[in-house]
Amino acid sequence: MRDKLKKTIEGGVIGLLMVLSGCYEVDTTPPEAPTGLTSITGDEAVYLYWNENTEPDLTGYRLYRNDAPSGYFVLIADIKEPCYVDRDVENGITYFYAVSAYDDDGNESELSEEDCFDTPRPEGFNMKIYEKDYLPDFSGYSFEDARPCKYNSMYTDIYYDLLGGITYIIATTGTLIQDMGSYYMDDISYAPIDGWDTLGVVPAIDGHVYVVWTRDNHFAKFRIKAVGNTYVVFDWAYQIAEGNRELVPKSLKYMRKEVLHD
């Protein structure tokens, strides 16, 4: 009796599965791994974006992070759009990222294959320094310390000077500078490889962006907002990580999407 009952139950289960399998085919195929994962450096933020998957049953993406290029990546976000702003970061620390895609049935792809890493950096706005002979103690600027200092201080990277009626930004000994031209801050995302001014002396021009390569192998950039005979006002960004040329986001398209995730 027990065996017969067991067989009856088993038969009913098998029959039910057969009926269900005829009505619904279980999807076990995951989406393709996302491609094109890219990061843009921010101030205590990393802006991430990648190519959008095209599977019709795509549900979203899972973003992972690690403090090393290999090993265990921790899930930090489950999102719908192919972009994300990671604000749980510290300036000067390098983070490694990978992203996967998943569908309506919960099938998750492999992690993206790109080696994507980033090191957030600080920035500042409306900094004011003064002409060397007018107020020498506040004529220079140290990007590392984010403060004005004396033009000939050992900490100074650049200073402001008036020579022959023309205003100049001067790089201190061992520091290089380059006038990138009339741009917005976000237009310059990386320090250039070459093109540095051989004398370290460039005219101070309102609306121009300048890139600085410090004597201790750090990169900075600033954009002049106002120029007078006795002062100059600028916005700036500085990369804490030695030798890292990333300076500021260049694409506002992806920065605007951050409101979706805040």
Q: Where are the domains of the chain?
A: 38-120+251-260, 123-238
Rounded Cα–Cα distance for residues 94 and 116 (Å): 10
- The domain defined by 38-120+251-260 folds into Immunoglobulin-like (2.60.40)
How far is C-alpha 154 from the geometric centre of its chain's CA atoms?
30
Secondary structure letter of residue 186 according to DSSP: G
Sequence-distant (≥ 6) Cβ neighbours of residue 243 within 8 angstroms: 217, 218
Rounded Cα–Cα distance for residues 199 and 197 (Å): 6
Rounded Cα–Cα distance for residues 177 and 237 (Å): 14
Buried b (16+ CB within 10 A) or exposed e, 100-121: bbbbeeebebebbebebbbbbb
| 8 A C-beta contact, residue 55 and residue 103 | yes
The low-confidence residues of the chain, meaning pLDDT below 70, are: 1-24, 248-262
Structure token digits, residue 122: 């600080």
Res 42: pLDDT: 84
Residues β-bridged to residue 181? 209
Q: What is the pTM of this model?
A: 0.70
Torsion, Cα 70 76 80 86, to 10 degrees, reads -90
CB hemisphere CA count around 132 (13 angstroms): 17
| 8 A C-beta contact, residue 170 and residue 203 | no
Res 24: pLDDT: 59
Q: How many other β-carbons are positioned within 10 Å of the β-carbon of residue 168?
A: 19
In 3-state terms, what secondary structure has residue 255? helix
